[in-house]
């Protein structure tokens, strides 16, 4: 059996391994055993989901698994992933679980687990959950009688999370009559994001906010911003904000309809944090996928920078190690540890809006704090994931590309932690050179393992 847990929990096509009801039940049972304390009391878990068709099926199985191990299960319904991290802490839960496949299409689903302090479950505990399932050791661990758990619903989960998010916006700032377009990806932010920004006083145009179970992330949201850019221009709005299906990512569009990456947002917010004296240890954490332009911007601003492996859990680990409060990824995962324990698209948007209001400048001007180096990323579907260093043809191509780029760019090739893909990234001195090298390397990957 392949390892179930990737960089962001368990993920796959719903109703196929590992995202079957049977496996969800076993994950619930094993996670309950791993996360249960030695205290003689009722243990509690909060479960939330995004808007996928398969969410109810997996919620029922996961709930049954936790109840069978004596956990009382509190159902929050459709709520962003960071909302469940918040609810886990604020309600004194022993564990929190989100059923979501983030930015993936509707046929996929996943299970993410949070510890009682609102952080994602560490690798060691994920490995123990998997061991209990693989060895079938978990099947003989089951309480009976009154020790079986109950199921309850949280009727005001969305309101609690909205109230929490609003506190991330300065009380002394006025939004005024700023116009904002929100793209909620027909996902978990559909109900809560428009309410939050409207309550702060913004004139909100909301789009892709009618989830039907199958339209989540469908040509909308943080990975598909064409509709958002068009609507920003049509309405004369100051900015557009695009979330992904589970609401932990943010991509922005400026008033000219230009898409800004997570690197741009991170640069703008890092500058604001430094100027406000909130940038602990004068340090920002990004990943190895961040653009050269971001690193150059941090250098110009006199801000220290550290790069982690790809994945928000690794960003968070390095932030803790460096005692930093700001970190993120080009994909739009942003972590502001003085605001939340997890990446949160809505809270990231509120930080970006704060920077705009404090500077009194349009987003197109603010984003000039960094200039993107030419970059090309090609995602290649692969049938297997052998170590890349074991592919001599690919390694030869990488050496040739790096020699041509010299000190004017770089090559980064890595497997996706959540999909059967190999990501080829090239940054170079010109668009033409960058694209040519990226296409050549992607074709080599395709020939080797595609």
**Span 354-390, pLDDT tens digits:** 999 999 999 999 999 999 989 999 999 999 999 999 9
Is pLDDT of 417 > 80?
A: no
CATH classification of the domain holding 382 = 3.30.310.50
Euclidean distance between CA atoms 109 and 12, whole angstroms: 6
Domain end marker among 107, 134, 155: 155
**Domain endpoint, select from 139, 155, 171:** 155
CATH of the domain at 39: 3.40.120.10
Residues 433 and 343 placed together within one structural domain of the fold: no
**In this structure, are 78 and 12 located in the same domain?**
yes
Helix (H) or strand (E) holding 335: strand 334-336
For position 182, what pLDDT does the model report?
98
Is the domain of 178 the same as that of 257? yes
CA distance 264 to 342: 20
Q: 354 with 380, same domain?
A: no
Q: Do the Cβ atoms of 292 and 313 come closer than 8 Å?
A: no
Same domain, 183 and 300: yes
Question: Residues 316, 355: one domain?
Answer: yes
Q: Total structural domains in the chain?
A: 3
Place of tokens 């492996």: 309
Q: Do 200 and 344 belong together in one domain?
A: yes
- Which residue range is the domain that position 105 belongs to? 5-155
pLDDT for residue 1 is more than 70: no
Q: Which helix (H) or strand (E) holds 349?
A: helix 345-359
Whether residues 101 and 241 share a domain: the answer is: no
The string of pLDDT tens digits covering residues 173-193 is 999 889 999 999 999 999 999
Residues 57 and 98 in one domain: yes
Do residues 341 and 393 share a domain?
Answer: no
| pLDDT for the residue 408 | 82
pLDDT for the residue numbered 406:
86
**Which conformational region is residue 236 in: left (phi greater than 0), alpha (psi within -120 to 50 degrees), or beta?**
left
Catalytic residues: 102
Q: Rounded distance, CA 149 to CA 44, Å?
A: 9
Q: Do residue 166 and residue 258 come from a single domain?
A: yes
Predicted local distance difference test score (pLDDT) of residue 407: 79
46 with 64, same domain? yes
Domain end point (choices 369, 384, 414): 369
Comparing 143-152, 224-233, 363-372, 409-418, which segment has the lowest mean pLDDT? 409-418
């Amino acid at each position: 059996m392949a390892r179930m847990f990737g960089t962001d929990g368990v993920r796959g096509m719903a109703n196929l391994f590992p995202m079957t009801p049977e496996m969800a039940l076993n994950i619930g049972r094993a996670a309950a055993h791993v996360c249960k304390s030695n205290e003689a009391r009722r243990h509690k878990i909060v479960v939330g989901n995004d808007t996928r068709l398969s969410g109810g099926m997996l919620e029922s199985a996961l709930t049954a698994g936790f109840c069978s191990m004596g956990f009382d299960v509190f159902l929050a319904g459709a709520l962003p992933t960071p909302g469940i991290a918040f609810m886990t802490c604020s309600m004194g839960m022993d564990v929190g679980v989100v059923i979501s496949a983030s930015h993936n299409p509707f046929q996929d689903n996943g299970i993410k687990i949070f510890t009682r302090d609102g952080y994602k479950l560490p690798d060691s505990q994920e490995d123990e959950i998997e061991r209990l399932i693989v060895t079938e050791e978990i099947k003989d661990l089951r309480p009976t009688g009154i020790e079986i758990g109950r199921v309850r619903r949280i009727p005001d989960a969305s309101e609690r999370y909205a109230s929490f998010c609003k506190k991330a916006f300065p009380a002394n700032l006025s939004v005024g009559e700023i116009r904002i377009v929100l793209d909620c990806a027909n996902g978990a932010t559909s109900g809560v994001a428009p309410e939050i920004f409207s309550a702060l006083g913004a004139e909100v145009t909301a789009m892709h906010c009618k989830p039907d179970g199958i339209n989540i992330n469908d040509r909308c949201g943080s990975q598909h911003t064409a509709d958002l850019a068009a609507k920003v221009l049509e309405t004369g709005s100051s900015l557009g904000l695009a979330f992904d299906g589970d609401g932990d990512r943010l991509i922005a569009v400026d008033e000219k309809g230009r898409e800004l990456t997570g690197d741009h947002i991170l640069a703008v917010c890092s500058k604001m944090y430094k100027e406000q004296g909130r940038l602990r240890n004068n340090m920002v954490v990004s990943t190895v996928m961040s653009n050269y332009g971001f690193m150059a911007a941090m250098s110009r601003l006199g801000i220290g920078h550290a790069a982690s492996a790809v994945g928000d859990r690794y960003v968070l680990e390095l932030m803790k190690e460096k005692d930093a409060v700001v970190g993120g990824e080009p994909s739009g995962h942003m972590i502001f540890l003085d605001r939340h324990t997890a990446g949160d698209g809505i809270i990231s948007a509120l930080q970006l809006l704060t920077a705009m209001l404090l500077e009194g400048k349009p987003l197109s001007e603010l984003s000039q704090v960094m200039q993107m180096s030419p970059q090309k990323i090609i995602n290649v579907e692969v049938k297997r994931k052998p170590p890349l260093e074991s592919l001599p043809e690919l390694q030869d191509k990488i050496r040739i590309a790096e020699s041509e780029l010299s000190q004017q760019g770089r090559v980064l090739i890595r497997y996706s932690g959540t999909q059967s893909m190999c990501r080829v990234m090239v940054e170079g001195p010109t668009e033409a050179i960058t694209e040519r090298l990226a296409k050549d390397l992607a074709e080599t990957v395709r020939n080797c393992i595609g």
